[in-house]
Amino acid sequence: MFAVDSVSVTVPATTANLGPGFDCIGAALTLYNEFKFTTHTQEKVTITVTGAEAERVQTDESNMLYQAFVKLYEYLGQAPPPVQIDIKLGVPLARGLGSSATAIVGGLVGANVLAGEPLSQSQVMELAIAMEGHPDNVVPAFVGGCRLAATSNAGWEICEVPWHEEIVPIVAIPDFELSTKEARRVLPKEVSRADAIFNTAHLGLLLRGLETGRGDWLRAALQDKLHQPFRKALIKGYDAVNAAAVAAGAYGMVISGAGPTLLALTDIAHSEAVATAMATAWQSEGISPVVRSLKVDNQGARSFF
Ligand code: HSE
């Protein structure tokens, strides 16, 4: 690989869990963060940020994108080059749409390109999973599509989950945040056998429902006993938005990642009505959401010179 001194990396948002697939399934969505890395002659990293909520992003060495950039060089046993980083935000922060996964994947991919691509895709992905602590955001952010990740003796098995083209993901992004740490803190350490069986069966049904687009399977599949019952109390208006989405024709509604964004799956014919119903229901609870009808991104992270 030839050496370059500048690279731009675009990374999609992701929605993790999809209800019953806690910590193991996620899909990339057509909403993006863009990161540009340019080596420079100053001693320190310099970082600029544009886009919504730009002022909230750290612009010193604690920046997560930069931390991931450094991580790859540490893995190689090399010092990172001084670099100028320009961040263009399109993925809302701390809303359950994988903004931190975009930073981890973006930093690792950018560093790997500037270093001459010494690491394979699967090595970079393993580093990303180790940094994030679970695979369900970083894997689809990296490779695109809907993906299931399972540990194996050799590391991780990553499996593509076919997503029927007529299933529309609608995200309702509220004007408040929920930290993943807090949303994980409320989860029980142990679950009953009945609840484990419930989720195993529903995740199996979800995989077949996503592949076939069968509404009866999707309607039953989008249920969970491992995280949502404990998290929904942290999301004001959850029940009202859920009821409104289903009444408007959605197959179901789940928490996107650790929340607070809510994700409905619907068919194309009902997508506008579902989006409007979710927005109206949340507004009547005093919350101003941004509601977007998206698609699954099938490309994942891409770099440009
Ligand atoms: N699977 C994770 C969770 C995604 O639900 O906590 C958030 O990063």
Q: What is the pLDDT along the chain (305 residues), one digit of tens a residue?
A: 556 899 999 999 999 999 999 999 999 999 999 999 999 888 889 999 999 899 999 999 999 999 999 999 999 999 999 999 999 999 999 999 999 999 999 999 999 999 999 999 999 999 999 999 999 999 999 999 999 999 998 889 999 999 999 999 999 999 999 999 999 999 999 999 999 999 999 999 999 999 999 999 999 999 999 999 999 999 999 999 999 999 999 999 999 999 999 999 999 999 999 999 999 999 999 999 999 999 999 999 999 98
Sign of CA dihedral 54, 179, 240, 215: positive
Give the pair of three-digit tokens for residue 95: 């809303």
The residues, ordered by sequence, that sit 6+ positions from 83 with a Cβ below 8 Å of its Cβ are 37, 38, 39, 40, 45, 46, 66, 69, 114
Q: How far is the CA of 177 from the centre of ligand 1 (A)?
A: 14
- Asked whether 249 and 168 are in contact (CB, 8 A), the reply is no
Ligand 1 atom, smallest distance to 23 CA: 1
Mutate to test the pocket of ligand 1, among 95, 137, 138 (most ligand atoms within 8 A of CB): 137
Q: How far is the CA of 73 from the centre of ligand 1 (A)?
A: 27
Tokens 């179901």, residue?
252
Ligand 1 within 6 A of CB of 10: no
Give the pair of three-digit tokens for residue 206: 């979800």
Tokens 């950039």, residue?
69
Residue nearest to atom 5 of ligand 1 (CA): 258
Cβ atoms within 10 Å of 78's Cβ, excluding its own: 12
CA–CA distance, 285 with 186 (Å, rounded to integer): 23
Q: How far is the CA of 163 from the centre of ligand 1 (A)?
A: 21
**Which regions of 195-288 does DSSP assign to beta strands (E)?**
252-255, 262-267
Give the pair of three-digit tokens for residue 168: 């529309």
24: exposed, middle or buried (Cβ count in 10 Å: 0-12, 13-18, 19+): buried
**pLDDT at residue 261, rounded to an integer:** 98
CA–CA distance, 268 with 48 (Å, rounded to integer): 39
Cβ atoms within 10 Å of 149's Cβ, excluding its own: 22
Q: 205: which DSSP letter?
A: H
**To which H or E segment does residue 98 belong?**
none
Q: 88: which DSSP letter?
A: E
Ligand 1 atom, smallest distance to 136 CA: 1
**pLDDT at residue 147, rounded to an integer:** 98
Give the pair of three-digit tokens for residue 219: 């309607």
**pLDDT at residue 40, rounded to an integer:** 87
Q: Is the pTM of this model over 0.85?
A: yes
Domains, the chain, with CATH or none? 6-161 (3.30.230.10), 167-293 (3.30.70.890)
The residues, ordered by sequence, that sit 6+ positions from 1 with a Cβ below 8 Å of its Cβ are 116, 117
HSE-up (13 A, CA, CB side) for residue 203:
22
- Asked whether 183 and 258 are in contact (CB, 8 A), the reply is yes
Ligand 1 within 6 A of CB of 16: yes
Give the pair of three-digit tokens for residue 194: 């009945």
Q: Is the peptide bond before 260 cis (omega within 30 degrees of 0)?
A: yes
